[in-house]
Every structure is written in C-alpha cells, then in structure tokens.
Structure 1
Amino acid sequence: MNDTERSPRGFEEQLLTDLTAHVAHRAEMASAVRPAGRRARFLRGWRLAGAFGLAVTLTASALAVQTMRLGDQPPPTANASEIFHLAADAARQQPELTARPDQYVFTESLVTIRDLPDSGPYQTIRNQLWESAGGVAYTQGRYRPEADPNGWSELRVLKMGDAADPTKELDAFQPPAYHGDLPTDPDELLRYLREHPVDLHLPEGADEEAVYGDESMAYTTARTMLHGYVPPRALAALFELLAREPGAVVISGDVVDAAGRHGVAIRMPGVIGGNADLIFDRDSHVYLGTRDSVIRNGKESVYMAAARLRIAIVDRPGQLP
C-alpha cells in the first residue's frame, strides 16, 4: 500500500509488534511449570511467526468464511455516495462527547491480522488505547489475545514511529485525538483539511509538494480523523465529504467485521497493491471499522481488519469508562 494508507494504522501495527514480546514472555513463564511433553505442544500452539505474531491462532478457513469474507452475493442497490450520506444521518443521531485537552479518548477494538500479508493463519487481539484528547501527551495502550481474558499486557506509552524508518521514534506528541474543532459544513471541512493535512512522514527525497498538493490529500486526511473522536455534526460533514471522493465503490455481498457484526463495505480509491475498506453497519449505517487486503498474483486476500467496539472520554490512561 502507499504511504497515505500506512500512517493511520501505526498504533495497531505497533501494538501487534509489541504483543510478540509480551506473549513470548508469558509462554516462557508457563512452559517453566509444565511437563516437557506438554511444553512442546504449548509452544507450537502459541507460535510467534512473523513481525506481527500474536497469541491466538484462528482457523484460517473458518475465519475466511465467517469473519473476513469479501462478499459473494449480488451487489447492493445503494452506491458509495448514498451509503456515506446514510452514515452521515446515523452520525447526527449519536450522543456528543466533550473533552478537555488534558483528558483522553479511550477506544477499544478487535484487530484481526495474518502473520504475512497474503498467507498464514489469522490471529485476533483486543486493543485498548488512551489517546490524548488535546495532543499534549503520548498515547498509552494495552492489549491481549482475544481468547485469553487474563492475558493483558502492561499499560505502556506508545510513540508513533516514522513510516520511512520503522526503527525511528518521533519526538513530538501525537496529534489531538479529540477533533472538536472540525467544521460541520462539508465545504468548510474540505478547506480546513486542505490547510491542515495529516503528516505522512514521507521518506527523504519524496516530492512533498506533489503529495500534499494532490486533490486526494484532503480525503486521506479525512479518513485519518476516524481513528480518533469526531463529534456527531462534524462526523456527518466528514462522511458527506467522503461521499464526494471519486472512485469509491460498494463491495458486493454481506460483509462481517472483525467483531462478527454484519455490515456494508466501501472500498476507497488510491491504494497500490491492495485495497482499503470502510465498514458500516448494514442496518443503522453506523461506522464500524476498517479492513485491508492485498492482491498477489491476481488474487485478493484480507490482511488486517479493525473493529471499533467502544469509545469514551476518560481522565487518565488505564481508566475504563
């Protein structure tokens, strides 16, 4: 995928990487008190393959059918623009949350991912993030294998890495997670997003003027806003703005997100070597989360999906709503 599609998933990818060490440590502790015969089976069952190795290995065939299918039914009658307008109507009905700059936006989500982009078993973790509402502190988070209720990692500070250099940590705090200053009119929102593009941390030598001056940049920035909290009226304007983006299409058939909820997926344009989808509830059209897939040898397979379960405003990291 291109750089415009990597940046918004930075925290999920970092959480998945961090979980490798967390699970390995738990496996070592557990194996120390198990008989040798059981130890071998235990370590095979908790295989940590690839950079995003996790604790829970799901049956790939069952997941492909039940959770991550790309759709095998006739196309829906609504087009992408109509779905976005319905999502805007649903957004206006949501209760509004308010936050001070010193508070935190709490989000809980399920993330399902493969060891490798186009092969290997699917694995699922539960993430909890506490992001600074005002962008005045680092994000903190914890995570666990979905099948292990007692497997929570320690709460730790998360720093956004440089997309051009994964080993480099950025010194600045993350952008505010509470987007309370967004315009509530689509035209005004478009102007705002053009003036305040998301930082893509482009590699050295990249043509920044061409990237940030491209007409699609405002839509890319709009999609990154979905990873924080956007008040209802501004969220409605955001979906109405996305309804204007050329090239978005509705995926045919029923889609089931990483949490097992039935939805409709809109495939966004501008992705190289794969696809990025936004998922909305099939009946209420409330925003549910995202799904990313890769294309290899002409075949498409889901790589990662993230389903938002809840969002709230809290006073400190570690506090639950």
Structure 2
Amino acid sequence: MNADRRSERADVEDVARLLPAPAERDLPPDRHLHHKDLLMQRIDHDQQTTAARPVTEPPARRLTRPAVLLPAAALALSGALVATLVTGGDSGRSAPAPTAGSVQARNATVLLDRIAAASLATDATPVRDDQFVYVRSVGRGNEGTFEGPVKIGAPYERESWMAQDPEPVIQAGAMRTTGKGAPLPGQLLPIEAGVVDGAPEGSGGIPAGIDRPTYAWLASLPTDPGALRTLLYAQTRTVEGETKDAAVFDKIGDLLLDTVMPPANAAAFYKVAATIPGVIQVPDAVDAAGRHGAGITLEDTGFATRDEWIFDKESLALLGARQYINKSWQPGDPVSTLYGTTAIMERAVVDKSGEVPAKAAG
C-alpha cells in the first residue's frame, strides 16, 4: 500500500513538473483584501490590551473572494465599503454548520457526479477573443466592522463584462452595480487585472490564465479529472493560514460562477471537486434571490470559514453561493454565521463592454 502511494505521488509530481509554472505576479485584489483584514484585526487586538477583561484573539475573518477582480477605484475605498464588494448574503440568518461524515461526503460525491453529467448535456456557444462574458448577479455582503459582529448589508445588483483577449491586459473588463447596497451605483468601473510582478511599468498586464480565465484558456484545460486536479493544485496559490484544499475549492467555484466554458470542462471541474477531502452536501441552501437548492460545501479549517455552492435540485444548474464564518466571532455569536451570498441571474456573451444582452439582441 505504501509503495503504491509513493508511486502515485511520484506520478503526480512528474505531471506537475511538466505543467507551465504560473507567472510570478502580485496577488489578486481579493488576496490583498485578506491581508488588509488580518492587519486590521491585529491592530484592533493590540488596542484592546488595556481592557478590563482578558482579550482573546478572534478567528481569522477572511473576506470572501469577489466574483470578479475588483476595480482599482473600489480598492481605494475602506472599511464597510470594501466589505460591500464581496459576494453578498440573504437575510443574515445563521445556519447550523454541517459536519463532515461518511453519509454527507458520499452524498456530495453522488450529487457532484450528477451535476457533472448534467453539465455535459448543456450547450455553450464558443466565445471569441474579441468578445466579453457578461454576468448579472444579485448579492448582499457583510458591512460589519472588523471588531464587531457580522452585519448583512442591503441587496444590490452587479453586472460584469470580462474581456476574452488572450494577450496580457491591464484592464480585464468592467463592472456596474445598482441598488440600495451598491458601491458607486450606476457607474461603469474598470476591473484592473494588474501586472506581472517585477515587470517594468507600462510593459504589460496579466495574460489569460488561472488569474484571468477566458473561454479559450478554459477550453484548453484537460478534461481528465486527474490531470485537471494536478494542474489546479499546482497553480492555485494560497495565503497564510489558508488550506490548499479550500483554496482549490474556492478557485473552482470562482471559475464556475463567473465564466462561460465548454460543457466538458465544467463537468471536469465538478469531478475534481468531488475528490477534495472534506467536501459534503447540504440538503437545503438558499441563494441571494431566495431560490432554494442543494448545497455543496467545504470548511476552511485555517480561516474558520466555509464556502457553499447552491444548485437547482431539478435542473442541477449552479444558482449561486454563500459564505459563512464557521466559529463564534464574539461571545454569544452563533456558530456558522452567514456573511455573504450571491445569485447568478444571467450569463451571456456580448461584443463590447457595457453592452446588455437584451439590447444586443435588438
């Protein structure tokens, strides 16, 4: 048995060495938000050392990954406004944290296999390099302070247009938010892709790849689950305290929620998700639009959070996602507190940034 495992590990390492190494570059904007979050927690913790009661450091409170890269203008905003840019939450109700076990894990594997099969039966029109992937979503996010409890903000709608150009770009697309809880409502804001770390200023941006997924790049990925799993574990980066399994689970969720890809590739992602240790099924989950479905979730033990994908129980279409803090934030807080939720309402392909599908159809 040990010899078999050593052989399997050697095979995986051999495949990983054949993969192109991801370019060295700055962390994506969502990871910068994570580090800012941890810094603010440390400052708050140090300032409380003179309190009458002993201070215990709360669990790391990670901001959820945005569904798209954040625009530079939004990154300049602080505190609660930054929090509203995360994928949002429904009513703020807490839910019991599911426990990993043989039944839940077995059910998750069965459900993900069914979802993969359903994905293969769908249609996807290829996207040209000069087009944009349009995604319209509804969300609510945490507006609570760093030292206080979770506070779910007002709902807002977000539209995003992601460029499909395979060449390095500085501007990856654009987005617009509307609604009571929207940051900078109604403005078409650029989504900054960033630049490769160490590159001279003005020399280029981020090419198509795992940090800027395009239809063509997704279509180029292996559809064999084992090969795709190796690639994802090799190219998905983690931040301090984050488990590799959780980072890969979150990356798969980002790719499935916010892109258009060939059915075979989508099916392969779901099959990889089924192999991640700790993935379990949630019998009932609700997205930001109030739609009930079946959930697939994984706890990130490093951050005491868990992300949850929500699927229609009949069509098995991906509806949206939720994010939870999986430990008490302050004394008296419930375990597993909802702090963000999103619902995908529409996906389409358009010819230019800012174009709405209905208008494009004439």
Report the TM range for the smaller structure's normalisation. Answer: 0.5 to 0.7
In the alignment, structure 1 residue 83 sits paired with structure 2 residue 111: yes
Equivalence for 1:159: 192
Q: Where in structure 2 are the equivalents of 1:1-321 lying within 5 Å?
A: 9-10=65-66, 14=70, 18=74, 50-52=80-82, 63-64=91-92, 70=95, 79-116=107-144, 118-136=149-167, 137=169, 138-145=172-179, 152-160=185-193, 172-173=205-206, 175-178=212-215, 179-195=218-234, 197-198=235-236, 202=239, 218-226=248-256, 227-252=258-283, 254-271=284-301, 272-294=303-325, 295=327, 296-297=329-330, 299-321=335-357
Tell me: CA distance 1:273–1:291, structure 2 relative to 1, closer, same or farther (3 Å). Answer: same
Q: Partners in 1 of 2:279 and 2:336 — Cα distance?
A: 18
- Which ranges of structure 1 fall in alignment gaps of 5 or more residues? 22-47, 163-170
Offset of residue 250 of structure 1 = 1.6
TM-score (norm 1): 0.68
Offset of residue 108 of structure 1 = 0.7
Q: Partners in 1 of 2:75 and 2:288 — Cα distance?
A: 18
Asked whether the equivalents of residues 19 and 53 of structure 1 are also in contact (C-alpha less than 8 Å), the reply is no
Q: Partners in 2 of 1:7 and 1:69 — Cα distance?
A: 17
Q: Partners in 2 of 1:132 and 1:273 — Cα distance?
A: 34
Tell me: CA distance 1:123–1:78, structure 2 relative to 1, closer, same or farther (3 Å). Answer: farther
TM-score (norm 2): 0.61
Q: Partners in 2 of 1:77 and 1:283 — Cα distance?
A: 20
Q: Partners in 1 of 2:233 and 2:337 — Cα distance?
A: 33
Asked whether the equivalents of residues 143 and 150 of structure 2 are also in contact (C-alpha less than 8 Å), the reply is yes
More strand by share: 1
Asked whether the equivalents of residues 140 and 152 of structure 2 are also in contact (C-alpha less than 8 Å), the reply is no
State the SS of the aligned residue for 1:184: coil
Offset of residue 288 of structure 1 = 1.4
State the SS of the aligned residue for 1:288: strand
Same amino acid, percent of matched pairs: 22
Tell me: CA distance 1:103–1:309, structure 2 relative to 1, closer, same or farther (3 Å). Answer: same
Asked whether the equivalents of residues 285 and 294 of structure 2 are also in contact (C-alpha less than 8 Å), the reply is yes
Q: Partners in 2 of 1:91 and 1:290 — Cα distance?
A: 18
Asked whether the equivalents of residues 104 and 133 of structure 1 are also in contact (C-alpha less than 8 Å), the reply is yes
Q: Partners in 2 of 1:302 and 1:7 — Cα distance?
A: 12
Tell me: CA distance 1:261–1:87, structure 2 relative to 1, closer, same or farther (3 Å). Answer: same
| Amino acid paired to 1:307 | A
Q: Partners in 2 of 1:119 and 1:216 — Cα distance?
A: 22
